[in-house]
Amino acid sequence: MSSLRTKGKSTIVWILMGMLLLGLGGFGVTSFTGGSTEVGSVGETEIDAQTYGRALQNQMNQFSAQIGQRMTIEQARGIGLVQAVQAQLFTRAALQEEARKIGVSVGDQNVAQAITQDPSFQGPGGFNRAAYTETLRRQGLTEEGYETNVRSEVGALIIQGGVMTGVSAPAAQVDLGAGWLLERRDISWQELTAADLAAPITPADEATLEAWHQANADRFTAPEIRRITYVWLTPEMLADTVELDEAALREIYDSKLDEYVQPERRMVGRLVFESTEAAQAARTRLDAGEVSFEGLAQERGLTLADTELGEVSASDLGAAGEAVFAAADNGVVGPVESDLGPALFAVNAILDPINVSFEEALPDLRAEAAADRARRLIADRAPEIEDLLAGGSTLEDVAKETDMDLGQIDWRAESAPTPGEIGGYEAFREHAAAVTDSDYPELFELDDGGVFALRLDEVVPPALIPFADVREAVAADWAGAETHRQLVALGEEMKLQAVSETMPQVVAPAADPAAAAAATEADAATELAAPEAPAALASKWQVETGLLRDGWLETAPPGLIAEAFTLKEGETEVLDDGGRVALIRVDRVEPAALDSDVAGEVKTSLGQKLDTSLSADLFDYYSRAVQTESGVTLNQAAMAAVESRM
């Protein structure tokens, strides 16, 4: 009967394995090592699954090294890395296909040069044949196949170079760009603030505030709350319960003795001379005030930093130690015979000896040892806690059966981390944001060696906070918005006034002298009645000359310079920039001097950038045209199979 049961199990296993293989085959997987033969092609040039997988893995590894953590295939898709790798491979395949079609030939010498100069195959003496063979073996490649690939890629590079070489931007385009960059402007500007208004803002009534509260609900909505139950255990919680013997503490003290016991040290600089006479001559000039120690260093082609020995003890200075440490204060000592010859030493600081006894260091030693011991205790107990959670124990049960503390938190993603509380740990914040009500509690690690588990009890969706609870905030928000509105209106009035003052007056000839005189009197009365900006505002204008587009004014609104370069000479405009309001007037536009040395440098740099940009655009158009002409095929199932193994 036993054998019958075994045979039955074996049959079921083989059936399941067969179904699994069939299922994987449907996704384009024909083996567990190589995958499908190709993921796509351009014309007759194919892209095999191994090449795709290797290229994708290399890009993911590089990105992982940059961000300091392992990248998943889902993350790679999310940032567009997968699509970028596919685009690169199909572009390369298009060039290889074009090279094949037009008969570009790459000789063995070019292939050999490309391989022997590859950094992947280099050893201490240059190209390493063993490294070449071993690298290809690890990648699952044969020498013949790899050399064929290299030949195709070199041919593709020849095509690419032919497309991109010799492209240059038109001189008129370069001059236009340089003129745009180097144009200068003189402007006058002033920022308008609440103090510039004719009267303070009248507080809004309750009806207005309630309407504002409703109309701007997004500003007064409480964020989502995730109510979480958790258990946690940290080294700090166990520190008081850890037993420490004196022998262990003394062992830690002895291992760090160089920190607790240090002889007198000094911050010292040194200048070594070729002879005692040269050193004495330098010391004589130093004593006479003709030169400083730094000046002596500069005469020898050194900086003061080059002479610094840092923090040294007497024994570190060898034969010169006794003389240097005999100096009672900072200053220059010498000439003194040192291990390198006659030298002058500059004593820059005297550091008293450190002698912390075991008894004095005991509090720190206990804290360090207790924390270390507590971390080890937590690591030892973690399997037991994991078993309890895996067995279906609730967090409340785990807290009763272990040393873990039970707690609850209304967690918000926007909440600032609070040190000492569980919400201050990055690991907890990550899991609190991701946990769902269907997740079973698991044990996770904290940065300090502690552990925690959590459970999502409830998600309270965002909700509008009642008006009564945020009335003061609503009033302040309304007042700020109303102040801003009135400042913009004031700016517009001042702008109109500035325009009317600069607008030329056209007076039609009058047939009747009496009528002309009446018109003149009416114009004078109108001028007297025209609104004028307060004198205080008139005195607030700030003048800036010679501004470039990339200039910076520390006290001005961030968009002020950019706005000024959209105006014509003599124009005035109101800038409403991120809650700040300013008035800008362009006093003068100075065209760029394209024949200057600075303009020449700008044109050279700009020309190079435009050349590169045009070359890249031309190459992009060319590769797309080749793909369109040759035809592109995709094997989405094979791509998915490769990606599933990442």
- DSSP line for 69-134: SPPPHHHHHHTTHHHHHHHHHHHHHHHHHHHHHHT----HHHHHHHHHT-GGGEETTEE-HHHHHH
User: Is the pLDDT higher at 513 or at 342?
Assistant: 342
Same domain, 127 and 215: no
The alpha carbons of the chain give a radius of gyration, in whole angstroms, of 39
337 neighbors 229 (Cβ within 8 angstroms): no
Task: Say if 92 falls within a structural domain.
Answer: yes
Q: Which helix (H) or strand (E) holds 45?
A: strand 45-47
Q: What is the identity of the amino acid at 182? A: L
The share of the chain scoring above pLDDT 90, in percent, equals: 35
Task: Say if 255 falls within a structural domain.
Answer: no
Task: Say if 453 falls within a structural domain.
Answer: yes
pLDDT above 90: residue 366 = no
Same domain, 406 and 476: no
Q: What is the pLDDT of residue 361?
A: 72
Q: What span, in angstroms and rounded, lies between the C-alpha atoms of 599 and 490?
A: 41
Task: Say if 620 falls within a structural domain.
Answer: no
Same domain, 312 and 213: no
Q: What is the pLDDT of residue 246?
A: 67
Same domain, 52 and 156: yes
Same domain, 577 and 453: no
Q: What span, in angstroms and rounded, lies between the C-alpha atoms of 548 and 562?
A: 10
191 neighbors 490 (Cβ within 8 angstroms): no
Strand 184-192 and strand 542-547: pairing?
Answer: antiparallel
Same domain, 332 and 436: no
Same domain, 124 and 48: yes
Number of domains in the chain: 4
Average pLDDT, the chain: 82
Q: What is the pLDDT of residue 154?
A: 81
Same domain, 404 and 306: no
SS3 per-residue string spanning 309-362: EEEECCHHHHHHHHHHHHCCCCEEEEEEEECCEEEEEEEEEEECCEECCHHHHH
Q: Which of 408, 436, 461 is the last residue of a domain?
A: 461
Q: What is the CATH number of the domain that holds 92?
A: 1.10.4030.10
101 neighbors 152 (Cβ within 8 angstroms): no
Q: What is the pLDDT of residue 401?
A: 92
Q: What is the CATH number of the domain that holds 378?
A: 3.10.50
Q: Which residues pair with 463 in a beta bridge?
A: 222
| pLDDT band at 243; cut points 50, 70, 90 | low
DSSP string of 156-180, one letter each residue? HHHHHHHHHTT----HHHHHHHHHH
Q: What span, in angstroms and rounded, lies between the C-alpha atoms of 448 and 234?
A: 7
What are the pLDDT digits (tens) for 559-569? 999 999 999 99
**Whose CA is closest to 432, among 224, 235, 218?**
224
Q: What's the rounded mean pLDDT across residues 375-400?
A: 91
Q: What span, in angstroms and rounded, lies between the C-alpha atoms of 155 and 47?
A: 16
User: Is the pLDDT higher at 497 or at 125?
Assistant: 497
Q: What's the rounded mean pLDDT across residues 583-597?
A: 93
Same domain, 371 and 235: yes
> Residue holding tokens 């013997």?
245
Torsion angle defined by CA atoms of residues 443, 449, 450 and 456, in that order, rounded to the nearest 10 degrees: -40
Residues in the chain: 646
Task: Say if 294 falls within a structural domain.
Answer: yes
Same domain, 151 and 207: no
pLDDT above 70: residue 530 = no
Q: Which residues pair with 346 in a beta bridge?
A: 269, 332
Q: What is the pLDDT of residue 242?
A: 65
| pLDDT band at 507; cut points 50, 70, 90 | very low
What are the pLDDT digits (tens) for 135-177? 888 877 788 878 877 877 887 788 888 888 888 889 999 999 9
| pLDDT band at 519; cut points 50, 70, 90 | very low
The share of the chain scoring above pLDDT 70, in percent, equals: 85
581 neighbors 493 (Cβ within 8 angstroms): no
What are the pLDDT digits (tens) for 188-199? 999 999 999 999
Q: What's the rounded mean pLDDT across residues 476-504?
A: 87
Residue 76 sits in which domain range? 40-165+627-644
Q: What is the CATH number of the domain that holds 339?
A: 3.10.50.40
pLDDT above 60: residue 14 = no
Same domain, 300 and 376: no
Task: Say if 473 falls within a structural domain.
Answer: yes
Q: What three-state secondary structure class fits 81?
A: helix
Task: Say if 548 falls within a structural domain.
Answer: yes
Residues with Cβ within 8 Å of 569's Cβ and at least 6 positions away in sequence, in order, are 586, 587, 588, 589
Task: Say if 552 falls within a structural domain.
Answer: yes
| pLDDT band at 325; cut points 50, 70, 90 | confident
Torsion angle defined by CA atoms of residues 365, 367, 373 and 374, in that order, rounded to the nearest 10 degrees: 180
Residues with Cβ within 8 Å of 277's Cβ and at least 6 positions away in sequence, in order, are none
143 neighbors 136 (Cβ within 8 angstroms): yes
pTM of the full predicted structure? Answer: 0.53
What are the pLDDT digits (tens) for 211-229? 999 999 999 999 999 999 9
| pLDDT band at 461; cut points 50, 70, 90 | very high
Q: What span, in angstroms and rounded, lies between the C-alpha atoms of 609 and 169?
A: 9
**Whose CA is closest to 622, among 55, 167, 40?**
167
Same domain, 342 and 381: no
pLDDT above 60: residue 344 = yes
Residues with Cβ within 8 Å of 597's Cβ and at least 6 positions away in sequence, in order, are none
Q: What is the pLDDT of residue 245?
A: 64
95 neighbors 627 (Cβ within 8 angstroms): no
Q: What span, in angstroms and rounded, lies between the C-alpha atoms of 49 and 68?
A: 28
**Half-sphere exposure in the Cβ direction for 380 (13 Å, CA):** 8
> Residue holding tokens 């390198």?
340
Q: What is the identity of the amino acid at 163? A: V
